[in-house]
Structure formats: structure tokens, C-alpha cells
Amino acid sequence: MLDHLGLQSALRAHILVFSRQTGIRTELVSHPNLSRLDGKREEVLFRVAQEALNNVYKHAAATSAKIEFTSTDEALDMEIGDNGCAFSVKEKFGGNCAGRLGLLGMQERVRHVNGNFSIESVSGDGTRIRVRIPLEAQHARWARTTGRDEGPVRATSSANSYPCLYEEDIRTAR
């Protein structure tokens, strides 16, 4: 379906089946810049969304989830959020990677298209997975050669939130 109908239609179909099977109300907020993606970037975003929803079902005890796309001229952002249980990201990635391959797999997929990946889990507010990928291959090449890619802004933690997990946190956890 992804190859024939594109990312938006494939996600809508997946969300429909996911919601029916799990009872988790799931919303998709699309963006016109989805049409600017090539097949490789579409597949990465689809697989990350698929794995994130799988994690929502298996671990979050959530009643709702949302996949939302936003964009700038240079990059497309996808955020997958839920209203479920939060977790300590630092604890989950402390030393041993056993059992966290889904999150690491998402991060690796995003890295292969020169994107940025982050996770934030806040007590009482659920978990947010954020992905930013360049819209054009030229931008990705420029960012890689100049080292000036603008990654996600690190959110400040409040007293009742857990620290965010960013790419560098995953790399140091290995």
C-alpha cells in the first residue's frame, strides 16, 4: 500500500486497523509536504509510526494516540504521542540494550535518512516520539558536510517529567 498509495494513505489504513484491533483511539494529522518525500523517507516514517503504535499498545496502557506532521521549508517533523504511562528513558537505556531494540531500530532508520530522533516521556502526559527528516537530499548532504543540521530543541524537564532521550543518549548507552 505504501508503494502504491503513498505515506498518508498507508498510515490511514494502518491506523484504522490498529484502532479496531486495540481499541486505542488514534488520530492522524497530515501535512501537504508529505508529497515531497521519496520512497525511502516514506518507508522510514511509516515503519517508525508502526513501531511506535506497537509500543503504545504493548507498554503504555494508553486510550489515545496521535501522529502529527508539521514542516518547515527544509524538514518534515513527525510526532507520535500517547496519553499512557510514562517511563524513565534514562533507565530504559542504561547500559544493557536487551528489550529496547524497537526504539533503537527506529533511531537507526531515521539516522539512515540523515534525520533526528528523540523521545520524551512525562509523568501524567504520556510519551512523545519526534522525528525530523530533511525534505530534500541536497539539504541532507549540506547538513552532513557542514555539520550544521538543526536537530530537535531539547525540552526543559519539569519536576515531574523524565529526561528526554536524544540520538546522542542512545549512542552513549551502547
pLDDT for 158 equals: 33
- Which residue would you say has higher pLDDT here, 105 or 169? 105
Here the cell at position 60 is 503504555
Give the span between the Cα atoms of 155 and 133, in whole angstroms.
19
The whole-model pTM stands at 0.76
Q: Which domains does the chain have, with CATH numbers?
A: 2-150+160-173 (3.30.565.10)
More confident position, 72 or 91 = 72
Per-chain mean pLDDT for the chain: 80
Per-residue pLDDT tens over the stretch 23-82: 999 999 999 999 899 999 999 999 999 999 999 999 999 999 999 999 999 999 999 999
Measure CA 19 to chain center: 19
DSSP three-state, residue 134: strand
Q: Are 108 and 120 in contact (CB under 8 A)?
A: no
- Partner residues linked to 166 by β-bridges: 118
pLDDT at residue 103, as a whole number: 85
End-to-end Cα spacing for the chain:
35
In percent, how much of the chain has pLDDT > 90? 57
> Which residue in this structure is represented by grid cell 506532521?
69
Please report, for residues 29, 53, 64, the alpha-carbon distance to residue 57 in angstroms, rounded to integers and kept in the order given. 20, 6, 10
Beta-strand pair 25-29/64-71: parallel
Look at residues 29, 17, 39, 26 and name the one whose alpha carbon lies nearest to residue 69: 29
